[in-house]
A = this chain, B = another copy of it.
Amino acid sequence: MLRATVFVRYREGVDDPEGKHIKKALNLLGFSQVRDVGVAKTYEILLDVDGEEEAEKLVEEMARKLLVNPVIHEYEVQYERV
């Protein structure tokens, strides 16, 4: 088994409204040290595969078909044997 951890975040230059709202909320709560907040989503996917090569192919296809919108998102993946 392999665990693929897929981090999906907004591309540089794409508006991140949730991050902006959280920054504003933190500033209003008194956290004046907060300069910027970005929000990303992480998918921890448990895969019944043997090798990392097979997992990489699968995750790339999953990203394309379901998890990632390439117009606004970029993503990176970490693999861990479990």
Number of copies: 2
Question: Are B47's CB and A38's CB within 8 A?
Answer: no
In the complex, the answer to whether A42 meets B40 with C-beta atoms within 8 Å is: yes
A66 touches B22 (CB 8 A): yes
Which residues on the B side are within 8 Å of A26 (C-beta)?
45, 62, 66
In the assembled complex, A78 has its CB within 8 A of some CB on chain B: no
Closest chain B CB from A7 CB (angstroms): 7
A53 touches B (CB below 8 Å): no
Nearest CB in chain B: distance from A12 CB, A? 13
A58 vs B35: C-alpha distance when bound (angstroms): 13
Report chain B residues within 8 Å CB of A65.
29
Beta-carbon contact of B7 and A33 below 8 Å? no
